[in-house]
C-alpha cells in the first residue's frame, strides 16, 4: 500500500511539473510582436525614398514642359529656312496670325469640324449604347464588333475611306448607283470634303462614345427605373427624366475628349483631302503644318500651334467646369 501510494504521489508530482512547465514552453514558442517596419533600413534611405518616388513624375513633367517652353521661345523670333540668323520680333508672329484672313478661315473650319463631329458622335454613341444595353444575343455580338474601328489607325481609316469614296471606282458610289446617286464627287467640293472628313471621324470614334455611354448605363441604379415602371411611366418619360440626367456626366466626359481631339485633328483630314479642295478643309493643325514644314516658316508655324493650344485649353477648362456642375446636380450635391 505504501509503495503504491508513493508511486501515485510521484506520478502526480511529475504531472504537476509537466503542467507547470507547459506555459513556459508555450510562451517560448509564441513569437513576439513584429519588428517595426524599416528598423533594418538606414535612416538616409528612409529620408530619400519619398523623393525617389516622385522622380518619374518630375521627368514626365519636364519632358512636357521643356519642348513647350522651347516652342514659346521660338515664337518670339523669326526662325525660317530663308533666315539662318533670326532676329527677336516679340509678339509680331501673333499679330500676323490674328490679322491674317487665312487664320480666321482655318479657325472657322476647325470649329465646324469639331462641333459637327462631336455632336454626331454623341447622338449616335448614346443611341448605340441604348440598343446594346438590352441583353440580347445580337447586342452581345455587336458589343464585341463595336470596338473594331478603334483598333484601326485614323490615318489608315482615312486612306481606306478615300478609296471607297472615289467617284468612278469607289464602292460607295457603286452601292448608290442603283438608287440614282452614283458618281457623287464626295471630296472634290468644299462642302463634300468637310462632310466626308466628319463622316470618317464619326465612323472611327463613335464606338468610343458608345462604350463610355454603355458603361454609364450599366452603372445606373435600378431602383428609380423600377419605381417608374410600377407607376406606369412610359419609355420616353423614363429616358428624359431619369436616364439622361443620370447618364449625362458619362456622356459629357466623352464629349470633352472628342471635342478636344477634334479641335486638333490632323491625320484624318490630311490623309483624306490634304486640306483641299483649295483651303476648304485646312484646319488650324494643318495650317501650322503648312507654315512650319512646307513653307519652312518655323516660328510662324509654332505660333499657330501655341494659339491652337490656348484654344483647346480654354475649351477644356470650360467643359470641365460644366462637367463638375452636372456631376453635382446628378448626385444632388448642394453647391
- Mean pLDDT value of segment 309-334: 80
Confidence at residue 234, expressed as pLDDT on a 0 to 100 scale: 84
Dihedral over Cα of 188, 280, 265, 317: its sign = negative
Confidence at residue 31, expressed as pLDDT on a 0 to 100 scale: 52
Q: Say how far apart CA 289 and CA 241 lie, in whole Å.
A: 46
pLDDT band at 14 (very low <50, low <70, confident <90, very high): very low
pLDDT digits (tens, 9 = 90+) for 113-134: 999 999 999 999 999 998 888 7
Confidence at residue 276, expressed as pLDDT on a 0 to 100 scale: 85
C-alpha grid cell for residue 116? 459637327
**Which is more confidently placed, 172 or 144?**
172
pLDDT band at 241 (very low <50, low <70, confident <90, very high): confident
Dihedral over Cα of 69, 73, 78, 80: its sign = negative
- Mean pLDDT value of segment 141-161: 87
- Mean pLDDT value of segment 256-283: 92
pLDDT at 289 over 90: yes
**Which is more confidently placed, 27 or 294?**
294
Classify burial at 167, counting beta carbons within 10 Å of its beta carbon; exposed 0-12, middle 13-18, buried 19 or more.
middle
Maximum separation of any 2 CA atoms in the chain, in Å: 127
Confidence at residue 34, expressed as pLDDT on a 0 to 100 scale: 55
pLDDT at 200 over 70: yes
Contacting residues for 272 by C-beta, under 8 A, at least 6 apart: 158, 159, 161, 162, 187, 193, 196, 197, 200
- Mean pLDDT value of segment 211-240: 87
Average pLDDT of the chain to the nearest whole number: 84
Q: What are phi and psi of 88, to 5 degrees?
A: -75, 125
Amino acid at each position: 500500500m505504501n509503495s503504491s501510494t508513493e508511486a501515485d504521489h510521484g506520478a502526480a508530482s511529475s504531472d504537476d511539473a509537466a503542467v507547470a512547465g507547459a506555459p513556459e514552453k508555450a510562451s517560448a514558442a509564441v513569437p513576439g510582436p513584429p519588428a517595426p517596419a524599416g528598423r533594418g533600413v538606414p535612416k538616409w534611405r528612409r529620408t530619400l525614398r519619398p523623393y525617389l518616388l516622385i522622380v518619374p513624375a518630375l521627368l514626365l513633367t519636364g519632358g512636357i514642359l521643356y519642348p513647350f517652353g522651347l516652342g514659346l521661345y521660338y515664337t518670339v523670333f523669326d526662325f525660317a529656312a530663308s533666315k539662318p540668323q533670326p532676329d527677336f520680333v516679340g509678339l509680331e508672329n501673333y499679330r500676323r496670325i490674328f490679322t491674317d484672313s487665312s487664320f480666321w478661315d482655318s479657325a472657322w473650319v476647325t470649329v465646324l469640324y469639331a462641333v459637327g463631329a462631336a455632336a454626331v458622335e454623341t447622338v449616335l454613341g448614346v443611341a448605340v449604347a441604348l440598343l446594346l444595353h438590352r441583353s440580347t444575343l445580337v447586342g452581345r455580338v455587336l458589343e464585341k464588333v463595336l470596338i473594331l474601328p478603334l483598333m484601326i489607325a485614323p490615318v489608315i481609316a482615312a486612306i481606306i475611306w478615300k478609296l471607297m469614296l472615289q467617284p468612278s471606282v469607289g464602292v460607295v458610289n457603286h452601292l448608290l448607283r442603283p438608287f440614282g446617286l452614283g458618281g457623287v464627287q464626295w471630296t472634290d467640293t468644299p462642302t463634300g470634303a468637310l462632310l466626308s472628313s466628319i463622316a470618317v471621324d464619326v465612323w472611327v470614334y463613335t464606338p468610343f462614345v458608345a462604350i463610355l455611354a454603355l458603361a454609364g448605363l450599366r452603372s445606373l441604379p435600378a431602383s428609380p427605373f423600377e419605381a417608374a415602371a410600377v407607376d406606369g411611366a412610359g419609355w420616353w418619360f423614363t429616358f428624359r427624366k431619369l436616364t439622361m440626367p443620370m447618364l449625362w456626366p458619362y456622356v459629357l466626359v466623352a464629349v470633352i475628349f472628342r471635342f478636344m481631339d477634334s479641335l486638333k485633328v490632323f491625320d484624318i483630314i490630311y490623309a483624306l483631302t490634304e486640306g483641299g479642295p483649295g483651303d476648304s478643309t485646312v484646319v488650324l493643325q494643318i495650317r501650322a503644318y503648312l507654315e512650319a514644314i512646307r513653307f519652312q516658316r518655323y516660328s510662324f508655324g509654332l505660333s499657330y500651334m501655341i494659339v491652337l493650344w490656348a484654344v483647346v485649353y480654354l475649351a477644356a477648362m470650360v467643359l470641365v467646369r460644366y462637367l463638375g456642375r452636372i456631376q453635382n446636380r446628378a448626385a444632388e450635391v448642394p453647391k
